[in-house]
């Protein structure tokens, strides 16, 4: 009888990075453990949301924590369903990036903000289920839309708006994207390194980026504005 790997009976994921997959309970150790950053940042921001009474920012810690769990599920199993929940968490993040920018343009209520984020996330999840390889394309497309909205807001920003943290955020995320590309394409790659690699750096840098995004969004929180009056 041929011995099978723990997850070999499930449909494999549609994308592979540099780290070599092991026949083990945790298929890609480095890509798995590095998701701890999302979980720590998520828990920290949950605390900050409740401490500051800024419940409209809850999608950010929810997104960070969910991404930590979803991404771990993907890289620990190497399966499509792990990848699916990983991508669903990524859609949650890209949808709230669009949602927070739109709220500053259209000035809709927090209920509509939550509904918008939920709808975009679930709709994207349906598209991904129908087309298994579209995850990255959907995520990148939504990020581009969010950044274009942010750019339009920056060009006509109010004097009270602070963008001091944005250059640092851009530098961290730019380095993360560069390393992500190098790891995906195998330009900088040691497949037998199961401790720390380029994709692990991407996870940790992105978790810091989510923390900085939360700090940036605090100034636009509707709950914060109420307390300042």
Per-residue pLDDT tens digits for 43-67: 999 999 999 999 999 999 999 999 9
The mean-pLDDT minimum among 62-66, 95-99, 186-190 falls in 186-190
pLDDT confidence of residue 229: 39
pLDDT confidence of residue 228: 42
pLDDT confidence of residue 2: 54
Pull the structure tokens for residue 183: 């790891």
| Alpha carbon distance, N-terminus to C-terminus of the chain | 72
The vertex-70 CA angle with 11 and 173, nearest 5°, equals 115
Domain ranges of the chain: 29-218
Count of Cβ atoms closer than 10 Å to residue 9 Cβ? 8
Q: Exposure of 96 by Cβ count < 10 A (0-12 exposed, 13-18 middle, 19+ buried)? A: buried
Of 58, 87, 64, 63, the C-alpha closest to 75 is: 87
Distances (CA, A) of 77 to 18, 23, 74, 89, 206: 15, 10, 5, 17, 21
188 Ramachandran zone, left/alpha/beta (phi>0; psi -120 to 50): beta
Rounded to two decimals, what is the model's pTM? Answer: 0.93
pLDDT confidence of residue 226: 46
3-state secondary structure of 21: coil
Pull the structure tokens for residue 163: 């963008």
3-state secondary structure of 61: helix
What is the mean pLDDT of the segment spanning 123-138?
Answer: 95
């Amino acid at each position: 009888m041929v011995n099978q790997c723990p997850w070999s009976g499930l449909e494999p994921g549609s994308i592979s990075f540099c780290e070599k997959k092991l026949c083990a309970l945790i298929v890609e150790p480095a890509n798995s453990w590095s998701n701890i950053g999302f979980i720590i940042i998520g828990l920290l921001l949950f605390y900050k949301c409740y401490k500051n009474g800024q419940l409209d920012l809850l999608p950010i810690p929810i997104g960070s924590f969910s991404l930590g769990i979803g991404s771990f599920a993907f890289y620990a199993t190497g399966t499509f369903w792990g990848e699916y929940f990983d991508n669903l968490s990524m859609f949650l993040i890209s949808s709230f990036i669009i949602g927070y920018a739109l709220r500053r343009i259209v000035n809709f209520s927090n209920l509509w903000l939550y509904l918008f984020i939920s709808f975009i996330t679930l709709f994207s999840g349906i598209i991904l289920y129908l087309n298994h390889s579209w995850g990255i394309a959907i995520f990148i497309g939504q990020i581009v839309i969010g950044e274009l909205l942010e750019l339009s807001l920056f060009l006509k920003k109010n004097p009270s708006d602070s963008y001091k943290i944005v250059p640092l955020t851009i530098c961290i995320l730019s380095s993360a994207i560069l390393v992500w590309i190098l790891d995906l394409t195998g330009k900088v790659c040691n497949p037998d390194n199961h401790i720390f690699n380029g994709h692990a750096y991407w996870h940790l840098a992105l978790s810091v980026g989510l923390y900085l995004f939360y700090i940036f969004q605090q100034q636009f929180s509707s709950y914060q504005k109420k307390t300042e009056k």
